[in-house]
Structure 1
Amino acid sequence: MLALAVEANYVHWHEINPDTHEPTHVFMSHPEAVKLFRAYPHVVLIDSTYKTNTYNMALVKVVGVTPVGSSFLIACVLIPSESEEGYTWLLRKLMDILECTGASPSVFVTDRELGLVRALRTLITETPHLLCRWHVNRAIESRALLIHKTVSYKDHVLNNPETGWWNVIDATSEEDCNKAWSVFSQNLKILASYVSRTWGEHAKKFVLCYTNDYFHLGNTATSRVESAHSLLKAWLKSAHLTLDTMWSRIHSMLEGQHSKIRKELQDSMSRPRITQRLFSLLKGKVSTKALEIMEDELKRGVALEVGWELGCGCVLRTTHGLPCACTLVDLKNNGSRVHLSDIHSFWRTLEYDNQEAMSKNDNDMLEELVDKARQSDSVYRKVFLEKLRDILHPEDEDILAPAVRENPKGRPRGSTTRNKSGFEHTIRKYGTPSTDTSSNVQHMIGDFAAGVAGAPLERNFTKGLISTWVKRYGVPEEL
């Protein structure tokens, strides 16, 4: 594993247990990923997965976003557990990659893994932290179903236009959010108590009126990392790989990913898709993804002109660094054009090879250290060289394979699928939520089919169907 890191010029760090000589933490970042991260540090998404290696260590993936809309794997990190200590180590190494550039992420996006949340709160104090809205909503849907025990809960509890949860999380102003919460908590006291207790302190990390203040490029969920999990496991093809085999396969996957990103960026420069004069000054100078977003925003603005009281919101300027609907409509109506200065530098950075790898101060310090080492006593020169050799040639260290950890998270032993989430277990018990108000009828039909399938003999059909009915819905009042 470490030999690959040296051979392929990975940025890598590792921690070794001095008593057992086993690696406890490993951080690997492909040299191309390092360049991408330094060019596009704005959005960082973090999530972990299990059952990728025979030692049951957690594999944490750190994912970034390019101006063409692609995801790229910034780093893969092995940690012994999802503790605050493990994530703090990861975050320190991640920020070390950016240190020479002076840049920092605009947002971190994660789920509510407590060790990661605490590490971000302690270490990354200046960068906003967003919680995955999808995970938040799933958790609340699951709790609502447990409380109300009805398959139509989504209509009556969450999607209700007057009292529903979506009125809270999708509120576009703090005033609207407070009003929606007041109504929600009065009508659904038990569920509101859970939301307040579990998610209240994190509200500014996922409620729309707050997240609209951050430059997140539309990333308010960890779906990019979930997709990266799926792609990675398709490449790994096993849950019991050694570290050498696992990293070799990850390396092959990354080589293909980087080739694709290079082509997409090149296409933005050489084959721009300009559909109207409004964007003609941007030809070959901004990504095709930025043009697509502005085209959609312009269409929204034209539609809003019919009833402008709906309001533009002017959110795109903040969240994406692009002109919003009202600006685009005004420019179009006046015969003007969007200028390059109207576009955030993220969308204009279509080449990333020219990133400065080391600051002048770092170069000066390195030369100073080498000069001092040359002038020092031979004993100190030997120590200096040994330390330098350990850094540049970690494969020469006496490192053993990690011990196998018991009871890891992830999918069941021997399975190729992950464990079901709490939401999925709840749905399995109470049924699939439906936005159709006739969902009870749908489940009655499902019960009918289940009764047929579960009746070994024709004469037992009615008995089996009634048993299934009573188990789900209770004894009808008519009986």
Structure 2
Amino acid sequence: MDSSSPTIQNEELYLANSKFDSYDELLKSVRDFYYVKGYGISIRDSSKDKYVTLQCDRGGCYRDRLSIGDKRKKNTGSRLISCPFQIVGKKEYDGGWILKAKNLSHNHEPSTDISRHPSFCRLSPNDVQSVKNMMLSGIPPRQILSSLRQGNPNLPAVSRTIYNLKAKIRKENLGNRSTVSALFEEFEKEGFIYDILHNSIGHITHLFIAHPLSIKLAKAFSNIFIMDCTYKTNKYNMPLLDIIGVSCFNTSFYSGFVFLEREDEDSYIWALSVFKKTLENREPSVIMSDRELALMNAINMVFPNTTNLLCIWHIEKNVLANCKKHFPHTEEFDIFMSSWNNVAYSTSKTIFEHNWGEFELFYQTKKVAIEYIKKTWLPWKEKFVSAWTENYLHFGNRSSSRAEGAHAKLKQYLQVSTGGFQDVTKKICLAIKHEFNEIKVKLASERIQILHNCDAPVFRELLCHISHFALKEIHMQYEKIKKGTMTPCTSHFMATMGLPCAHKIKHLEGMKLSLDLIHPHWRIDTICLNSEDDLHNDIGAKEFDELLSELSSRYQIWPQSKKEFANSMITQLLTESDILFEPLIRRPKGRPPKSKNKRGINSTARDPSRFEFVES
């Protein structure tokens, strides 16, 4: 542009006559002045207490910082066209700021719509702080933007503004630390118990994490856990073993998470061994899982006194997926599945043998289907058939549906499947703190509330001492006595639920039910979730303190050579540090997408199961 034009003269007057009290005031004034003219202003370089060089935001040229080859370059462009416009702001001795022109010409026409210039989309400091707060709460970028626009309908920002700001905040939080160092510091800050395995070149291959609130709940309710892997949770494509506990309210909670390089027996043994330490070597009564042989073997090795039950729902769906093709008519297959369920839910070993014999005889022409069931499921009948499972204390849990629900809830927090360990851990923290607070509030509530239908003398000693869920279960048994709907006693209810059945209640002949009849799992008067004394867990801390004390006392009587050896060993422990890296990104399971532009690459939604394809 010609320097004699009215626009340039107007600029020169503005620059010559303007003085500002602060750097921020100067920056805001210059941007507002040039926005009206159709130009965006960016900072070229600055020293906040000395000077700032401002340029047109189309100044400079595109630089391939990552040296990406032509084939890998994204199909995008650049707004940079080496516009020469520059002005300089300087701080004077009195603290004020002035402006001086360096080059007021542009090599392009002004924009008729300034809204897509990055400097125009920039958020105010207050808005930036709001974004940070909403990020910590796990709110998605699109909802963050909607929230900001509630307060300012004319907000110039777009979705990309929020994504870029999130990336900038993450980079600032990381500072000069490596990703793994920052992760471990986050674990220390939150009080996590964690453990890792890494390969020979320092890449993490396995990561176990347990939040202190999860450990508190797991210790309080350590009788049953459900274990199941979920996928599409992290950018490394690592399976995530989700360990789910069951509270006295019959609600689920996260007990621990394990990122695995492989779903093999050694990986599961390591994961379960670390989890066992968080439980202070307690062994659950029951662990529920799918028919994952590597996991089943690991459970048997790490928890030899624990009963491993198989999910009856998944068994039914596997039978459906593998057997439906042998039945051309839907009605015939429905009868087959009903007959199979009759076998699976046999209430005694004798009834099971009878039902299986009839089932096998009736479908002798369906040899492939029968052979599949005989080879795949019958060897594990003690782990899913009611005749056996109803003798174990599983508190009514016959399936791993809790795990499916927990996976879904976790993925609502994760939002995408492309997060690293730090991002995933922060979202896990949000989920755990939410569910812990829900259980804590429910505990306080049920300690002072009395169910109207249980306000009778027979329940008097149980009120406010056991959960409402347990009370309702007992009340249903009591109603069977009143309505005359009792069936012959099998002892299954007491064995599986740890609560008195209708026959036991009737035998008491109107006497008050005692707390001695209630399994400790259902008690709400014996657990405390308020104290934070034990939130910072440290496996082996007591043993370590004892060793230090003994070392200190023995050190005094050792000869000098042994003292020097001890000092060198301790010094080596204190100074050595492993250089660790994030996991290598694994190729995910399944067929790769046909198109590079295929949508949903960051989706956490699980892939359909085989039975869903069969049913569709």
Q: TM-score range by the shorter chain?
A: 0.7 to 0.9
Deviation at 1:422, TM superposition (A): 1.4
C-alpha change, 1:320 and 1:381, in structure 2 (3 Å) is farther
1:3 corresponds, among 180, 185, 193, to 185
C-alpha change, 1:356 and 1:249, in structure 2 (3 Å) is closer
1:243 corresponds, among 416, 421, 424, to 421
How many Å separate the matches in 1 of 2:225 and 2:590?
23
Deviation at 1:154, TM superposition (A): 4.2
Amino acid at match of 2:198: I
The residue that corresponds to 1:317 in the other structure is: 494
Deviation at 1:146, TM superposition (A): 1.4
Deviation at 1:156, TM superposition (A): 2.2
The residue that corresponds to 2:169 in the other structure is: none
Alignment of 1:126 onto 2:305:
yes
The residue that corresponds to 2:254 in the other structure is: 73
C-alpha change, 1:300 and 1:397, in structure 2 (3 Å) is farther
1:105 corresponds, among 284, 287, 309, to 284
SS of residue in 2 equivalent to 1:426: helix
The residue that corresponds to 2:27 in the other structure is: none
Deviation at 1:157, TM superposition (A): 1.2
How many Å separate the matches in 2 of 1:228 and 1:171?
30
SS of residue in 2 equivalent to 1:46: strand
Deviation at 1:33, TM superposition (A): 1.1
Q: Which has the higher contact order (CA 8 A, sep 6+)?
A: 1
Kept in 2: contact 1:272–1:283 (CA 8 A): yes
Amino acid at match of 1:296: M
How many Å separate the matches in 1 of 2:455 and 2:470?
13
The residue that corresponds to 2:569 in the other structure is: 383
Using structure 1 for the length normalisation, give the TM-score.
0.80
Q: What aligned pairs does 1:115-264 form with structure 2 within 5 A after superposition?
A: 115-159=294-338, 164-189=339-364, 190=367, 191-264=369-442
How many Å separate the matches in 2 of 1:342 and 1:388?
53
C-alpha change, 1:259 and 1:378, in structure 2 (3 Å) is farther
CA RMSD of aligned residues (A): 2.6
Percent sequence identity over matched residues? 26
The residue that corresponds to 1:282 in the other structure is: 462
2:610 corresponds, among 422, 436, 454, to 422
Kept in 2: contact 1:410–1:419 (CA 8 A): no
1:21 corresponds, among 198, 202, 212, to 202
The residue that corresponds to 1:452 in the other structure is: none
How many Å separate the matches in 2 of 1:385 and 1:267?
53
Amino acid at match of 1:111: D
How many Å separate the matches in 1 of 2:468 and 2:257?
29
C-alpha change, 1:72 and 1:175, in structure 2 (3 Å) is same
Kept in 2: contact 1:35–1:352 (CA 8 A): no
Kept in 2: contact 1:51–1:410 (CA 8 A): no
Deviation at 1:20, TM superposition (A): 2.0
Q: What aligned pairs does 1:30-109 form with structure 2 within 5 A after superposition?
A: 30-99=211-280, 103-109=282-288
Deviation at 1:153, TM superposition (A): 3.5
The residue that corresponds to 2:17 in the other structure is: none
Deviates more, 1:259-268 or 1:175-184: 259-268
How many Å separate the matches in 2 of 1:48 and 1:114?
13
How many Å separate the matches in 1 of 2:499 and 2:591?
40
How many Å separate the matches in 2 of 1:109 and 1:384?
43
The residue that corresponds to 1:439 in the other structure is: none
SS of residue in 1 equivalent to 2:584: coil
How many Å separate the matches in 2 of 1:346 and 1:425?
40
How many Å separate the matches in 2 of 1:420 and 1:198?
22
How many Å separate the matches in 1 of 2:588 and 2:376?
26
- After superposition, give the CA deviation of every residue in 1:324-360 in whole Å (9 maximum; x if it has no partner): 12122344xx33111111111111254245798999x
- After superposition, give the CA deviation of every residue in 1:24-72 in whole Å (9 maximum; x if it has no partner): 1111111111111112110011001111111111111001111111111
C-alpha change, 1:109 and 1:257, in structure 2 (3 Å) is same
The residue that corresponds to 1:474 in the other structure is: none
Runs of 5+ unmatched residues, structure 2: 1-182, 556-561, 594-599
Amino acid at match of 1:267: S
Kept in 1: contact 2:236–2:583 (CA 8 A): yes
Deviation at 1:117, TM superposition (A): 1.6
Deviation at 1:381, TM superposition (A): 3.6
How many Å separate the matches in 1 of 2:588 and 2:396?
36
Deviation at 1:3, TM superposition (A): 1.7
Whose helix fraction is larger, Structure 1's or Structure 2's?
A: 1
Using structure 2 for the length normalisation, give the TM-score.
0.63
How many Å separate the matches in 1 of 2:252 and 2:591?
23
Kept in 2: contact 1:88–1:119 (CA 8 A): yes
Amino acid at match of 1:66: S
1:292 corresponds, among 472, 476, 485, to 472
Kept in 2: contact 1:411–1:417 (CA 8 A): no
- After superposition, give the CA deviation of every residue in 1:258-284 in whole Å (9 maximum; x if it has no partner): 111111111221223233222111121
How many Å separate the matches in 2 of 1:16 and 1:362?
24
Kept in 2: contact 1:50–1:408 (CA 8 A): no
Kept in 1: contact 2:443–2:524 (CA 8 A): no
